[in-house]
Structure 1
Amino acid sequence: MSNSPGLSFANADTWRGKIFNGEWVAASGVLDVIEPASGQPLHQVGKATREDVAIAVREARAAQRLWAATPPRERAAVFHRAAALLEQHASAAAALIARETGGILPKGEHEVRESIVLLQRAAAMPLEANGRVLPSVPGRLSIARQLPLGVIGVISPFNFPLVLSLRSVAPALAVGNAVVLKPDPRTPYAGGFVIAEVLAAAGLPKGLLHVLPGGADVGQALVEAPGVPMLAFTGSTAAGRKIGELAGGHLKKVSLELGGKNSLIVLEGADLDKAVSAIAFGAWFHQGQICMATGRVLAHRSVAEALTRRLADKARHLPVGDPALAQVALGPIIDQRQLQNVVDIVGASVAAGAVIEAGGTHEGLFYAPTVLSNVKPGMRAFDEEAFGPVASVISFDTDEEAVELANRTEYGLSAGVISASVGRAMALGERLHTGLLHINDQTVADEVINPFGGIGSSGNGTSVGGPADWEQYTHWQWVTIKEAVPLHPF
């Protein structure tokens, strides 16, 4: 497949050592991006500085004013073209995304497919109604309209970087904002540069999107920048707390999509083969490096032993390895630091009495899909997000106990209930403290047109996606109109 002029989806020469401000600009420093599966350098990008953030915000503010005044159909056309371009170059983009993230190729292809939908959704937004007519006294027109905030700062993670960047970048731009994006330095292409390429080629005016790979200092500068009224952050709860505190001190709007310790409840009478398939996907897809991952499997005592046995057998037969060299189900953990976190959680839990039914081993960054039984509250495997391929099985006797165990967490992102009785599952699910609830399915699900967000330590109660996007990336302005100035009683 040949690339269009000006596009370089599989050619790093265009952006080697550079950052993006509407054009590719040489940076003062460089970041070496390592392929997790091979441990070898994959490409090199520019490393942004705090000064780059200040320049980007200044340029974005200037560009945003003209963009907000651009006719809606012209804004929509940019996203229609971008969606078509990404679809045209889907294979090249997916392959490099998979390599950079350590994912299997179907994971990279999934990111690209969902991102095409995000761009198509963004194309529709400028043509949607963005206000309401309010009741008022005779002779006065009262309306509320939603206006762009200005410059949106976006800080995105390494696990699904294209989707988790674009789900903020696309709607924020669509409603008239500019965006400064800081992708994770481990995945700058998937989290930023592919977006820059496709939107620039689609005709997005210069200065509206800036992509600045860098470390925590760049993120902090973006949060503190006076010209950025809103931050959208996806990442760990620990980092989210720091960003929320810092943004609050600057009186900024902030959207936090953080971690999760998600429970999938399996009731007696459930089809165990289907339940095991659902658990395996929810716990081990992309090595469990998903905020929605099925970390806890709450199984009714009557089926817990059989479920654990089948799940362990499934784990032992799933191939692990370099996705670029063989057809595997699991690739590598993103880096050594994240691997050590998984090792520590499993080790501490086993020392506290948990039993390894399968897995619990690794070769380099390749961690085997793992099943733990005899997991109890208070163990790290019960309480903490591993962000690795670890499924902990916990048995219960009553629905009330299942609800209590599922809610015994600081998090509140996703939950699932598998049951032969939809009514029973719904009644149980209504008692779960969670932002996402799936009846007869596992916990990893996002159609990118749905409101997505968590509560507790999984987020600050905001949602992104679909109908939530207008509320997220705009502010309300109340406007009243009268034919003439009335007399007032003063």
Structure 2
Amino acid sequence: MNTQFHHLYINGEWQQGKSERIIKDTNPYTQEELVTIQAASKEDLNEAYEVARDVQDSWKKTLPQEKRRILENAVRVMEENKELIMNWLIKEAGSTTMKAMSEYNVSLNILKEATTYPYRMEGKILPSQTPGKENRVYRDALGVIGIISPWNFPFHLAMRSIATAIATGNTVVVKPSTETPVTGGLLFASIFEAAELPKGVLNVIVGKGSEIGDDMVTNPIPRLISFTGSTEVGRHIGELAGKNLKKTALELGGNNVFIALEDADIERAVESALFGKFYHQGQICMSINRIFVHRNIHDEFTKAFVNRVKGLNAGDPANKETHVGPLINRDQVDRILNEIEETVAQGATLEVGGKANGNVLEPSVLTGVTNDMPLAKNEIFGPVAVIIPFDTEEEVLKMANAHPYGLSGAIHTRSTDRGTLLARQIKTGMIHVNDQSVNEEPHLPFGGEKDSGLGRFNGEWALDEFTTVQWVSVQHEPRNYGPFSK
């Protein structure tokens, strides 16, 4: 398995980019330079798409057992290189050891699920309203898929598109975030090269969004653009794709709610909220953004939660005792510090935290927050918790649905029926009773509503996203065309 990540990967070859720009990949905690890459130009991007187009028909026709063999090879390569992958997640994405392990495991499970897809490309035979006609529906690969992966869970969120696309007979061009070019892209080139994937099926382009970002979408070759990232960028991609009549699979931002009803188990709720808020520094689209606590238990919950937050260790993600590592860059730190300052200025109280050391932002908690303050309105994407009291279910439901996002959420109550009824009224793609908001399983639908995106990943729902269907009818008997028939 290649471990030198200084080049692009096009048509099974590691080659230098043709752009004049340089991408420097650095460790967000130590600022150590990890690798320097000559960026991809539009010429490189076009070459990658053309190669993917040229081999797609051959890959689509590859027998399912051969596709599965290659995907199982990739599973084996991942298992043999577990420590390498985890180490890159720690030093490139600022992952704690726990997060790197979790990201590796969920990615491996997604890949294992994908090994089943070549045998799940099912069609249908359906009845017809026309005498003597048989209707057949065939499921087919879309063609070439363009994948733009993010920096927060780069390996996991790239894997769920790459593995699915390849397993369903598509070919792929991946553009990872320039913050995580290895874990979001080049690692996959190395893994699938070692797994004996035919040349050209997977291509990885590392380039600046300002230079090749729009062309990644508007190039006429790809039929689907899979993007995980901010709603702002997702809107732009959706607009470009729409103009060019391309499908999109967009997993965007979230402003996820955590609701503790008055009958909640407080200790269980606090522990769930602690994980759902501070896991990977809160840099997860599914992270808890607003913690709503019934006024009857508000003080007890808040005291217990703040005490637990004070015990979290923040610092070097390579230290196994660290709970909260660095944010990806200083711009994210400064943005969140400004929003803390603005929220406090509007009347909130900072209970703990609120300071940064380099890119490490202290785990922070604010109380006295209202639903219209900056940290409640905006996706925080950092280790800052806001606690908002409520009196009735009607009130919390109105606040939960007030903002334009709808990705994930959680509700705590001793009555699962009550929790489920409330969950069904919250406009979100996913929600979890007596758990926290950060959940994903490779066989269940992952995706959001409203400004949180379009489409679903994983399992049979990913099969629908990454394939198309063709209706073929067969007229077995002569058909009566009325006045046109003899």
Q: Provide the residue aligned with 2:15 in structure 1.
A: 25
- Is the counterpart of residue 321 in structure 1 residue 315 in structure 2? yes
Query: SS of 1:450's equivalent?
Result: coil
2:114 to 122, 134, 157: 122
8 Å Cα contact 2:408/2:430 also seen in 1: yes
In 2, are the aligned partners of 1:152 and 1:179 still within 8 Å (CA)? Answer: yes
Matched, 1:108 2:100: yes
Q: Which residue of 2 aligns with 1:175?
A: 168
Task: Please give the root-mean-square deviation of Cα atoms over the aligned residues, in Å.
Answer: 1.4
| Partner residue, 1:60 | 52
User: What secondary structure does 2:225 align onto?
Assistant: strand
Residue identity (%): 37
How far apart in 2 are the matches of 1:484 and 1:119?
A: 46
Task: For residue 173 of structure 1, report the CA deviation from its aligned partner.
Answer: 1.0
SS of alignment partner, residue 336 of structure 2: helix
Q: Secondary structure at the match of 1:121?
A: helix
- AA paired with 1:141? E
Q: 1:340 and 1:145 mapped to 2: Cα distance?
A: 52
Shift, 1:28, TM fit: 2.6
Are the aligned partners of 1:105 and 1:323 in contact in 2 as well (CA < 8 Å)? yes
Match of 1:71 among 44, 63, 67: 63
Note if 1:37 corresponds to 2:29: yes
**Matches of 1:386 and 1:410 in 2, distance apart?**
14
Gaps of 5+ in 1: 1-6
- Please state whether the residue corresponding to 2:115 is helix, strand or coil: helix
Q: Which residue of 2 aligns with 1:4?
A: none
Query: 1:354 pairs with 345, 348, 369, which one?
Result: 348
Judged with a 3 Å threshold, the aligned counterparts in structure 2 of structure 1 residues 54 and 257 are, in CA distance, closer, same or farther, namely same
Post-superposition offset of 1:233? 0.6
2:416 matches 1:422? yes
Q: Give the conservation status (yes or no) of the 8 Å contact 1:19–1:48.
A: no
Matches within 5 A, 1:299-338: 299-325=293-319, 327-338=321-332
The match for 2:469 is 476
Q: Is the 8 A contact 1:382 1:392 kept in 2?
A: yes
Q: Which amino acid aligns with 1:473?
A: F
| 1:176 shift after superposition | 0.8
Question: After superposition, where does 1:51-450 map in structure 2 within 5 Å?
Answer: 51-136=43-128, 137-216=130-209, 217-325=211-319, 327-450=321-444
Structure 1 Cα separation of the partners of residues 7 and 66 of structure 2: 32
Q: State the Cα distance separating 1:486 from its structure 2 match.
A: 3.9
Question: Aligned equivalents of 2:109 and 2:473: distance in 1?
Answer: 37
Cα separation, 2, equivalents of 1:327 and 1:61: 47
Q: Contact 2:264 / 2:412 at 8 angstroms: preserved in 1? A: yes
Q: CA deviation at 1:271?
A: 1.7
Structure 1: 4+ residue segments shifted above 6 A: none
1:405 positional shift: 1.2
Q: Structure 1, residues 172-219: CA drift from partner, whole Å, max 9, x if none?
A: 111111111000011011111111111111111101111111221322
CA contact (8 A) 2:114 2:164 kept: yes
Give the superposition deviation at 1:482: 3.0
Residue 18 of structure 1 and its aligned partner are, at CA, apart by 3.7
What amino acid sits opposite 1:437 in the alignment? I
Opposite residue 101 of structure 1, the aligned amino acid is: A
Q: Does the 8 A contact of 1:19 with 1:45 survive in 2?
A: no
1:161 and 1:412 mapped to 2: Cα distance?
22
Give the aligned residue type for 2:150: P
Residue 3 of structure 1 is matched in structure 2 by none
One-letter amino acid of the counterpart of residue 56, structure 1:
A
Whether the 8 Å CA contact 2:371–2:388 is kept in 1: the answer is: no
- Measured in 1, the distance between the counterparts of 2:319 and 2:33 equals 17
Paired residues of 2:28 and 2:94 also in contact (CA < 8 A) = yes
- Give 1:330 shift: 0.7
Shift of 1:373: 0.6
Query: Counterpart of 2:459?
Result: 466
- Kept in 1, the 8 Å contact 2:8–2:204? The answer is no
Residue 438 of structure 1: how far off its partner (Å): 0.2
CA distance in 1, matches of 2:319, 2:116: 40
Question: What is the one-letter code of the residue matched to 1:406?
Answer: A
AA aligned opposite 2:152? N
Counterpart-to-counterpart distance in 2, 1:431 and 1:28: 52
SS in 1 for 2:178: coil
Equivalent residues of 2:289, 2:385 under 8 A apart: yes
Q: TM-score, normalised by structure 1?
A: 0.95
Q: Which amino acid aligns with 2:195?
A: A
Secondary structure of 1:382's counterpart equals helix
In structure 1, how many angstroms separate the alpha carbons of the residues matched to 2:101 and 2:388? 34
Asked if structure 2 preserves the Cα contact closer than 8 Å seen for 1:19 and 1:46, the reply is no
TM-score by structure 2 length?
Answer: 0.96
Distance (whole Å) between structure 2 residues aligned to residue 235 and residue 182 of structure 1:
13
Alpha-carbon distance between aligned partners in 2 of 1:448 and 1:346, rounded to the nearest angstrom: 36
The runs of 5 or more residues in structure 2 that have no matched partner are none
Cα separation, 1, equivalents of 2:250 and 2:53:
23
Residues of 2 paired with 1:21 and 1:398: CA distance? 59
Q: Give yes or no for contact 2:121–2:140 (8 Å, CA) kept in 1.
A: no
Contact 1:341 1:386 in 2 (8 A): no
Separation in structure 1 between the aligned mates of residue 183 and residue 321 of structure 2, nearest angstrom? 22
Kept after mapping to 2: 8 A contact 1:19/1:47: no
Question: What is the SS of the residue equivalent to 1:436?
Answer: coil
Q: Is the 8 A contact 1:224 1:246 kept in 2?
A: yes
Partner amino acid, structure 2, of 1:177: N
SS in 1 for 2:23: strand
Q: Summarize deviations over 1:80-133 as a string: whole Å, max 9, x none.
A: 111111012111211111211001122112122112112111111011242111
For 2:205 and 2:281, the matched residues in 1 are separated by 27
For 2:368 and 2:416, the matched residues in 1 are separated by: 28
Matched residues in 2 for 1:152 and 1:199: separation?
16
Contact 1:122–1:170 (CA under 8 A) maintained in structure 2:
yes
